[in-house]
């Protein structure tokens, strides 16, 4: 599994929930690990995360958040401000990354739902929920884009996956199950092809080595020589990839038009 932070044993995979604080609903994830000694909170590009010792009850998360409500809201506001400041724009139109390129997102007639036309992602005005329609389209594009990298990596390793799932994980870019099923985050379609290739190679490598031992990284380097640069790109740009699609359909800040 590849994630912005770390890998978790199956029984302690991150859980997701939400809480009402400060008059707003806040989503958060819970991570439990044997290496965590004390419960703590962290706000990253993916949002709020509660870190708990392995033996702790997940029920401890909500009281911990409420006890630090002001801190949580302050840091979430900072995260949202950063996302807005880094919003992409082309000729006054909202834009997003698609396969590493900045493309405008606009409503356009003559479409059934969503399509990439003339260098822009166009969404039919008839679509009631443009963000949802866009996500569904991006999921399909991500699945199609993964076919080549997966086939190439599996040809190098001689291993084959048993299933492919495209999901909307909050804490992972990809994962490999014990049965050989691979799962990838649809947001990866925003990244350059080389980055998508790296994540595909990372998970295919787990078909042979189910951990992050030196042997694993040696295999990754063998099938993906550019893995370090791609890993850095993910770390440096995860705040863009994880930004909610809803923001594309909000009014742009005035400074974005200058």
Cα dist. 98→4, 85, 103, 139, 224 in Å?
A: 20, 19, 7, 12, 22
pLDDT score for 198: 98
Tell me, what's the pLDDT at 218? 97
Query: Is residue 190 one of the residues assigned to a domain?
Result: yes
Same domain, 178 and 236: yes
Give 1's pLDDT tier (boundaries 50, 70, 90).
low
Pairwise CA distance, residues 72 & 76, whole Å: 6
Q: Are residues 74 and 145 in the same domain?
A: no
193-209: average pLDDT: 98
- Give me the phi and psi of 162, to 5 degrees please: -100, -10
Residue 4 has pLDDT above 50, yes or no: no
Q: What pLDDT, on a 0 to 100 scale, did the predictor assign at position 171?
A: 73
Q: Are residues 149 and 78 in the same domain?
A: no
**Domain assignment present for 148:** yes
Residue 72 sits at φ, ψ, to 5 deg, of -60, -50
pLDDT of 252 reads: 53
254 vs 124, higher pLDDT: 124
Residue 104 placed within a domain: no
Q: Which of 51, 69, 85 is the last residue of a domain?
A: 85
Residue 24: phi, psi to the nearest 5? -140, 155
257 domain residue, yes or no = no
Measured torsion, CA atoms of residues 164, 168, 169, 170, in degrees rounded to the nearest 10: 170
Query: Collapsing DSSP states into helix, strand and coil, what is residue 221?
Result: helix
Q: How far apart are CA 135 and CA 151, in angstroms?
A: 25
Is residue 151 included in any domain, yes or no? Answer: yes
Total domains in the fold of the chain: 2
pLDDT band at 2 (very low <50, low <70, confident <90, very high): low
Is residue 2, in this structure, part of any structural domain at all?
Answer: no
- CA-CA distance, 105 to 210, in Å (whole number)? 39
CB 88, CB 102: distance < 8 Å: yes
pLDDT tens sequence across 132-184: 999 999 999 999 999 999 999 999 999 999 999 999 987 789 999 999 999 99
Residue with the two structure tokens 């998970």: 203
Q: Do both 76 and 151 map to the same domain?
A: no
**Continuous H helices in the chain:** 61-67, 69-85, 130-157, 193-206, 214-223, 227-241
What's the mean pLDDT when you consider all of the chain?
88
* The predicted structure's pLDDT at residue 239: 82
| CATH code, domain carrying 165 | 3.30.2010.10
Among 169, 200, 175, CA closest to 187 = 169
Would 139 be classed as within a structural domain? yes
- Shared-domain flag, residues 72 and 140: no
Q: What is the mean pLDDT of residues 71-97?
A: 83
What confidence score (pLDDT) does residue 253 get?
52
Calculate mean pLDDT across residues 85-89. Answer: 73
pLDDT tens string 21-51: 999 999 999 999 888 899 999 987 778 999 9
**pLDDT higher than 60, residue 5:** no
Range of the domain at 27: 10-85
Asked whether residue 183 is domain-assigned, the answer is: yes
pLDDT of 10 strictly over 60: no
Q: Can you give the pLDDT at residue 172?
A: 87
Task: Output the pLDDT for position 9.
Answer: 39
Are 142 and 234 in a shared domain? yes
């Amino acid at each position: 599994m590849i994630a912005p932070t770390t890998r978790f044993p199956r029984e302690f995979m991150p859980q997701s929930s939400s809480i009402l604080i400060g008059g707003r609903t806040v989503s958060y994830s819970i991570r439990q690990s044997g290496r965590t000694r004390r419960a703590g909170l962290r706000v990253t590009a993916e949002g709020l995360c509660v870190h708990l010792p392995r033996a702790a009850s997940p029920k401890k998360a909500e009281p911990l958040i409420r006890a630090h409500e002001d801190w949580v809201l302050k840091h979430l506001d900072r995260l949202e401000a950063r996302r807005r400041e880094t919003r992409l724009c082309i000729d006054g139109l909202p834009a997003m990354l698609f396969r590493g390129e900045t493309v405008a997102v606009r409503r356009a007639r003559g479409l059934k739902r969503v399509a990439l036309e003339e260098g822009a992602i166009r969404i039919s005005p008839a679509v009631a929920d443009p963000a949802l329609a866009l996500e569904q389209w991006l999921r399909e594009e991500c699945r199609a884009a993964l076919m080549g990298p997966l086939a190439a990596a599996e040809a190098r390793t001689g291993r084959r996956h048993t299933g492919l799932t495209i999901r909307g994980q909050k804490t992972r870019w990809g994962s490999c199950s014990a049965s050989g099923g691979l799962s990838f985050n649809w947001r990866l379609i925003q990244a350059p092809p080389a980055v998508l290739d790296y994540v595909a190679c990372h998970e295919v490598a787990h078909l042979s080595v189910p951990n992050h031992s030196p042997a694993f990284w040696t295999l990754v380097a063998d099938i993906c020589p550019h893995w370090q640069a791609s890993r850095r790109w993910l770390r440096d740009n995860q705040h863009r990839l994880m930004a909610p699609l809803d923001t594309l359909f909000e009014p742009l800040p005035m400074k974005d038009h200058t």
